[in-house]
A and B are shown apart, each in its own frame.
Chain A
């Protein structure tokens, strides 16, 4: 056997390339052993110890050393092949060109992409208003994903948009479906006759998902940003969207979603809704639906009610908004220990938490939360639950320096285990939000945490009940059924909606003992 080698000076190849080269050479005819390593002192010594010793005088740690042992006649060709391979790798890379300059402004992007109707802006808040104004000047509608935009800037932007016949969705607008295209945190829903306008991202997601699940579809889903219906803004974007959908022939029914607006804004919205020549379903979560209902306007109490009512109206069935209680009692509920009497709700969607607080407050006492919903008591310490506690984990306190809980489940998983260790916890109530932007596989994150929580409770002689609702569709990247199956398999009681989940949880703790 003979040995041949070649020093390739200052040849920096990544580890994978070196491994591939070694493997390739080893398979060539007449080769017993081949190696391509950096020529460090220890590697040169190692080659000698391996019977591949060469006199690599002058080689340094920055040089590549190719050593081959085999039949003498084959080795020159093998070394040639090694050098050719290294050259091929280099030219394969250098042959590629990557010289285009990425757009750095909305104007550049417009010039490159051709006509567009909407600009999605996601920059730090201090720059967002200026970028949004530039987009409006260029005749674009704006979806302003950024938060930390001042109220004055929001008003200025929305007034400018209104003057140009455009709309500003946001700031802090996380959900929209425009012409069938989900933007930011949105679900894959079929297109159809129902148009939705929402000041709440998860509220919009819940309604559009339930509409899809009920067999209907969405024409447009337009977010307005959470402050739009405050007195200072006056509902400018919701009014614009309402008028647009009223004039849209593809939209047969309109759904408006918000927490209760300021009184004068409510009147303005309802007045505009009554002008529409089509049914309008209004869910101002927490507001009395009867006070919203009149003429073509149908008040709904919950997001689920709004979706059911809208679908019924779109199908030509004029009927009362659905807010009947769920008649069936939960089954398969384990026996609780004496001190287990409380619900611990851990939500990633702020509106889900808000809605659940309002629904539970009708049935349970001693309810605490970090949402602004009344009359739930404010939690003095968000890190520790107290009696019935519902936490919006999307609160700034929790998301500072880490991703939103729809994306990053670590915080919620830790809290699940922590709640399980509390002897007073009976039911853990969860929302699971699917769709673009959300975690790629929420069940894979939650199921192990649920297992740990059960183990913690079980070690102390307690059983826990998990109740969840999955806000998503079969078309979502995560797949509704796959997620639902995994959670069910983990023993989670699945509800069809957020409202249903809250009621189910209440029934369970009320039915204990």
Chain B
């Protein structure tokens, strides 16, 4: 799952001044550059996004969230609430074992962080195996449970009740237009039609990372683990990257990473469990993925389910 070796060998220098905060990183995504400068882009309780001078987003994360390809996973106890530690526009310098944020001062010690690599693109899922199909049914059951649907796409695609919200009803109509086209396009490896459908979903829906983007990330995760979809992904790369540019910067980064086969640790763990036909492991990974964001986890899982087997979500009236 993870490489144990520390990637940043140099020792941590003493922190200048007494008002700063030292945070120890326990994991670092393999796509985090070894050196960069940038600014704090956005700050949330459990995450702080840094926009590098090259336009990439690197995310400092609370330990509970799991690794990201471009994430630095901080000790949960020490990281606490990022909003109390840093604010938007503060300058950031990262060199070797240290990542420093200006202002009152935060230093992230990277020296003992284990390098994490997403293994999802190395997984292959055998859809002809009954056990895999069983795990997919488990996933559908989990997503269909009323308590598991905090909003977003999952209740619209898999739920039973009609939403009273005007926005949800409009979103459902949008899904009814997009998903049959998308399913047929994946079935025929037709990238052009797939892009037409994806264009209806990018940046669509509630949340900081809109539900449509999370759904597409999950969809791409599924396609990466299917032996027959690599060419389709390659064909989707350029047009979907263009579409991603119209969405929120944080969401955009996730979409671009997903096109490159890079996903969050919970999604990666889930794909590993699927490819190993590990029903229990998959259930644990699904539970963990469901905790991402408000609807992001369930939206991504819905996308994953759709990408694996559109028929499993087709039973719902969305497509009929």
**Complex CA distance for A33 and B170, rounded to whole angstroms:** 13
Interface on B for A, CB 8 Å cutoff?
A: 1-4, 14-15, 18-22, 41-45, 78, 80-81, 83-85, 87-88, 104, 112, 150-151, 165-167, 169-171, 173-174, 200-210, 212, 246-251, 280-281, 293-296
Q: How many A-B residue pairs have CB under 8 A?
A: 142
Which residues of chain A are within 8 angstroms of B173 by Cβ–Cβ distance? Answer: 49
Question: Residue on A with the closest CB to B295?
Answer: A15
Q: Given that A40-B248, A46-B170 are known contacts, is A98 also in contact with B210, CB under 8 Å in the complex?
A: no
Which residues of chain B are within 8 angstroms of A38 by Cβ–Cβ distance? Answer: 203, 207-208, 210, 247-248
**Complex CA distance for A120 and B207, rounded to whole angstroms:** 44
Interface on A for B, CB 8 Å cutoff?
A: 12-16, 18-19, 22, 33, 35, 37-38, 40-43, 46-47, 49-52, 61-62, 69, 93-94, 96-102, 104, 124, 400-402, 410, 413, 448-449
Q: Given that A14-B293, A19-B151, A101-B15 are known contacts, is A43 also in contact with B205, CB under 8 Å in the complex?
A: yes
The reply to whether A14 and B205 form a contact with Cβ atoms under 8 Å apart is: no
Sorted nearest first, the 7 A-B pairs with minimum C-beta distance are A40-B203, A50-B170, A15-B294, A12-B42, A15-B207, A98-B84, A49-B170
Which residues of chain A are within 8 angstroms of B78 by Cβ–Cβ distance? Answer: 102
Q: Given that A15-B206, A19-B206, A41-B203 are known contacts, is A101 also in contact with B18, CB under 8 Å in the complex?
A: yes
Which residues of chain A are within 8 angstroms of B251 by Cβ–Cβ distance? Answer: 61
**Complex CA distance for A93 and B166, rounded to whole angstroms:** 32
Which residues of chain B are within 8 angstroms of A104 by Cβ–Cβ distance? Answer: 14-15, 22
The reply to whether A50 and B166 form a contact with Cβ atoms under 8 Å apart is: yes
Which residues of chain B are within 8 angstroms of A93 by Cβ–Cβ distance? Answer: 81, 83-84
Which residues of chain B are within 8 angstroms of A47 by Cβ–Cβ distance? Answer: 167, 170
Which residues of chain B are within 8 angstroms of A61 by Cβ–Cβ distance? Answer: 203, 246-249, 251
Q: Given that A42-B200, A98-B81, A99-B21 are known contacts, is A52 also in contact with B248, CB under 8 Å in the complex?
A: no
Which residues of chain B are within 8 angstroms of A37 by Cβ–Cβ distance? Answer: 167, 205-207, 210
Which residues of chain B are within 8 angstroms of A12 by Cβ–Cβ distance? Answer: 41-44, 88, 208, 250
The reply to whether A42 and B201 form a contact with Cβ atoms under 8 Å apart is: yes
19 A-B residue pairs with Cβ-Cβ distance under 8 Å, sorted by A, are A12-B43, A13-B208, A22-B206, A33-B167, A37-B205, A37-B206, A42-B201, A42-B203, A42-B210, A46-B167, A46-B170, A51-B166, A51-B170, A62-B248, A99-B21, A99-B104, A102-B22, A400-B4, A402-B1
**Complex CA distance for A49 and B174, rounded to whole angstroms:** 9
**Chain A nearest CB: distance from B4 CB in Å?**
5
The reply to whether B208 and A14 form a contact with Cβ atoms under 8 Å apart is: yes
Q: Given that A33-B165, A93-B83 are known contacts, is A18 also in contact with B207, CB under 8 Å in the complex?
A: yes
Which residues of chain A are within 8 angstroms of B171 by Cβ–Cβ distance? Answer: 46, 50
**Complex CA distance for A20 and B41, rounded to whole angstroms:** 23
The reply to whether B2 and A401 form a contact with Cβ atoms under 8 Å apart is: yes
**Complex CA distance for A400 and B249, rounded to whole angstroms:** 38
The reply to whether A50 and B169 form a contact with Cβ atoms under 8 Å apart is: yes
**Complex CA distance for A94 and B167, rounded to whole angstroms:** 33
**Complex CA distance for A165 and B202, rounded to whole angstroms:** 69
Most chain A beta-carbon contacts within 10 A, residue among B15, B150, B210, B251:
B210
**Chain B nearest CB: distance from A258 CB in Å?**
30
Which residues of chain B are within 8 angstroms of A22 by Cβ–Cβ distance? Answer: 206
**Chain A nearest CB: distance from B22 CB in Å?**
6
**Complex CA distance for A38 and B150, rounded to whole angstroms:** 18
The reply to whether B22 and A98 form a contact with Cβ atoms under 8 Å apart is: no
Q: Given that A96-B84, A401-B1, A401-B2 are known contacts, is A18 also in contact with B206, CB under 8 Å in the complex?
A: yes
